[in-house]
């Protein structure tokens, strides 16, 4: 009796979860084409978004974490899955599908040999710290710098030419 009651409760719970979150049951998908390194921008989720990892041209679902609803994320690469969904890389090996996104801001960049060449942020400025001689891209940690130490550059190459090094974080 107890086993059938517990089984019924588990089955009911799974049905409710499936109804509330129908997109979490997505299967793995292969990719179509190569990774596009020449795109970057921000994406904003329109619901809780589940992540995928990429291994040997297969996008697999990451089950232990996701992205909060209505949260913006920087992306620097895209790829299309065989399921017809475009995926955006939001972390080292974490990709979010366009089916979870409400807003996509594309700031495409010029590429050379499939690698980003001259990254310029959306304001056209790279921010350097004149005290440390380190420059930061807008999405990097420690982007906010004391106003008396701010130096602006139009590109990473301009910062490098001025003797600045890219922040490692």
- Averaged pLDDT, 151-160: 83
Q: Give residue-wise pLDDT tens across range 47-78.
A: 999 899 999 889 999 988 889 988 888 898 89
Q: How many structural domains comprise the chain?
A: 2
Asked, for residue 5, whether it belongs to a domain, the answer is no
Asked, for residue 6, whether it belongs to a domain, the answer is no
Domain that holds residue 150: 118-166
Non-local (6+) Cβ contacts of 163 within 8 A are 133
CA–CA distance, 94 with 97 (Å, rounded to integer): 10
Tokens 């499939």 found at: 114
Contact 60, 53 (CB under 8 A): yes
Looking at the structure, tell me whether residues 139 and 86 fall in a common domain: no
Q: Would you say residue 18 has pLDDT above 70?
A: no
Q: Give residue-wise pLDDT tens across range 120-142.
A: 334 546 788 888 998 887 666 65
pLDDT score for 4: 63
Q: Would you say residue 24 has pLDDT above 80?
A: no
Looking at the structure, tell me whether residues 89 and 27 fall in a common domain: yes
What value does the mean pLDDT of the chain take?
76
32 or 27, greater pLDDT: 32
Q: Would you say residue 13 has pLDDT above 80?
A: no
Contact 151, 130 (CB under 8 A): yes
Phi, psi of 94 (to 5 degrees): -130, 125
pLDDT score for 114: 35
Contact 86, 41 (CB under 8 A): no
Looking at the structure, tell me whether residues 32 and 100 fall in a common domain: yes
Looking at the structure, tell me whether residues 28 and 105 fall in a common domain: yes
Residue ending a domain, choose from 76, 91, 110: 110
Looking at the structure, tell me whether residues 88 and 42 fall in a common domain: yes
Asked, for residue 3, whether it belongs to a domain, the answer is no
Alpha-carbon dihedral angle through residues 77, 21, 44, 67, given to the nearest 10 degrees: -70
């Amino acid at each position: 009796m107890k086993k059938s009651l517990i089984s019924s409760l588990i089955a009911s719970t799974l049905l409710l979860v499936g109804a509330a979150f129908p997109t979490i049951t997505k299967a793995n998908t292969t990719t179509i084409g190569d990774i596009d390194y020449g795109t970057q921008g921000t994406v904003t989720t329109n619901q809780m978004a589940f992540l995928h990892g990429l291994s040997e041209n297969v996008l697999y679902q990451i089950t232990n974490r996701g992205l909060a609803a209505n949260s913006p994320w920087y992306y620097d690469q895209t790829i299309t899955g065989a399921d017809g969904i475009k995926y955006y890389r939001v972390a080292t090996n974490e990709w979010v599908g366009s089916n979870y996104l409400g807003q996509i801001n594309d700031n495409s960049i010029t590429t050379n040999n499939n690698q980003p060449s001259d990254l310029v942020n959306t304001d056209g400025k790279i921010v350097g710290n004149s005290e440390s001689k380190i420059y930061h891209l807008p999405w990097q940690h420690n982007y906010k710098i004391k106003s008396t130490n701010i130096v602006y550059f139009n590109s990473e190459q301009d910062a490098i030419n001025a003797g600045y090094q890219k922040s490692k974080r």
